[in-house]
Structure 1
């Protein structure tokens, strides 16, 4: 058994604290981007973030490099950092890949026996009376993401599921906006239910068609809401700057 010296123990604890601090800063900055407190195109420095959060620049830099790897921010050499400008073409491409993966997964689900356990879990969430539907937008957004992820996972291809999870993470910044309007909540329950029933009855073509239409409708709504929110957030920022 290897024992650590006192200095090694202290070094290990310090490393752990620094890692936790960077993790916290990462999540805070990411949420600021998701909530448009940091707007696409906004510039800032590591010192700006460090001063605002009352920390040193080291964990801030670690958090920013992680966000850079995930394509949320970009470094401007000698000029600090910038929230990546909003690129709808980028998100459209991600939605296209997501649609291909999910419809392929649904086809496989209709052709095989495995995945029954995951489908039972989804039925308990989405095939419920209107009186039992959730109304909390944050919870619904997370459940909606899991619905689509579980469809892909149930198909039994681990690589397909991994790629789909990565895409879900990248589009989460705009996809969650689909749950800011009550009619979209009702539509999501109804559309998920139809897709599930078609899969259970092994109607692959119908299930794929409905799933594709469901994703496309969500994409249109999200684009419209995102444009409105970006405009409103930028207008508010301009007023505060005056």
Structure 2
């Protein structure tokens, strides 16, 4: 129940159904998600440790906003970690992983053609998760998952344009080609260039303050 409460509260935060700066309490959350106060309390403690909420004694709980500094810090950490994950994936992936990435890219092309931004968001995250799994390092993969969670809200803070999705798709393809060619250096560089594009989009769009 604690995990179920955590997953649901995090989903509400990431999708902005609980807005940055909003004040809540355990009873409100418990009633909203239909889970008892004890697992909700435990879940909120976990979310506090991860920076999603601020627990204020005797005053309730505040949904933490994302600042530009926070977003850039997360992307900097992702760049370091995911660059190496892509490098490892180039050396360690097998034909099954290559097929999974190809399938992911095909789904991405379809989502762009259909202008399905929500679907593309999930496909984008799946791409990075497949590469992380291919790298074969559980510790780095788990660290990356936490970083993805921290920055997931950014996808809901603005309306992304179709050319952003097309650029992401192109960069994913470049990473894939380097991995398929077993070129670790090229894979690392391509992944870091991809995340640098995201960083520039966030700064240019001023979607966080």
The reply to whether TM is greater than 0.5 is yes
C-alpha RMSD of the superposition? 3.3
Return 5+ residue gaps in structure 2 as ranges. none
Choose the corresponding residue for 2:164, options 174, 184, 198. 184
Q: What do the CA deviations read for 1:135-162 (whole angstroms, capped 9, x no partner)?
A: 3222211111111121122122222222
Q: Which residue of 2 aligns with 1:3?
A: none
Q: Which residue of 2 aligns with 1:236?
A: none
- 1:64 correspondence with 2:44: yes
TM-score, L = length of structure 1: 0.69
Deviation at 1:127, TM superposition (A): 5.3
- 1:82 correspondence with 2:71: no
Query: Within 5 Å, which residues of 2 pair with 1:1-150?
Result: 19=1, 23=4, 26-49=6-29, 57-58=37-38, 60-110=40-90, 112-126=91-105, 133=113, 135-150=115-130
TM-score, L = length of structure 2: 0.79
Distance 1:117 1:46, change over 3 A: same
Residues matched between the structures, number: 208
Return 5+ residue gaps in structure 1 as ranges. 1-18, 231-242
Conservation of the 8 A alpha-carbon contact between 2:92 and 2:135: no
Q: Which residue of 1 aligns with 2:194?
A: 214
Q: Which residue of 2 aligns with 1:7?
A: none
Q: Does the residue aligned with 1:227 lie in a helix, a strand or coil?
A: coil
Q: What do the CA deviations read for 1:26-58 (whole angstroms, capped 9, x no partner)?
A: 555433322334332222333444566788755
- 1:164 correspondence with 2:153: no
Distance 1:153 1:177, change over 3 A: farther
Greater C-alpha radius of gyration: 1
Query: Within 5 Å, which residues of 2 pair with 1:224-239?
Result: 224-225=204-205, 227=207
Conservation of the 8 A alpha-carbon contact between 1:103 and 1:211: yes
Question: What is the distance in 2 between the residues matched to 1:135 and 1:149?
Answer: 23
Conservation of the 8 A alpha-carbon contact between 2:54 and 2:62: yes
Distance 1:33 1:226, change over 3 A: farther
